[in-house]
Amino acid sequence: MELKLLAMIMGEAVRLGHADANPLVSLKLRRDKSPKKPELTDKEIGEIREAAMRLVNHSSELIHQVYQREKVEDVAQWRDAVQFPV
């Protein structure tokens, strides 16, 4: 894998003119076949969906809190900057 990456980097160096040739081309490196990955079960898919929804809900709550805090800070800033007659 590392040699394949080095071959790709050397190929890019040749293409950009930083090297005259890629000595790794003659090695004829092949990518190893990756092992077959097990399929996800319906239960695992459900757990992933639930976790994703919790993350989305939590993120939207945080965004809302930041938005509200910025609105309050903006109002406070303008209130302090403007002198209202009493």
Boundaries of every domain in the chain: 1-32, 41-86
Q: How far is CA 29 from CA 2, 4, 32, in A?
A: 11, 6, 9
Neighbouring C-alpha atoms within 13 Å toward the C-beta of 48: 6
Q: Give the mean pLDDT of the chain.
A: 81
Full-model pTM: 0.37
Assign 1 a pLDDT band (cuts: 50, 70, 90). Answer: low
Measured distance CA(14)–CA(8) in Å, rounded: 10
Which has the higher per-residue pLDDT, 55 or 43? Answer: 43
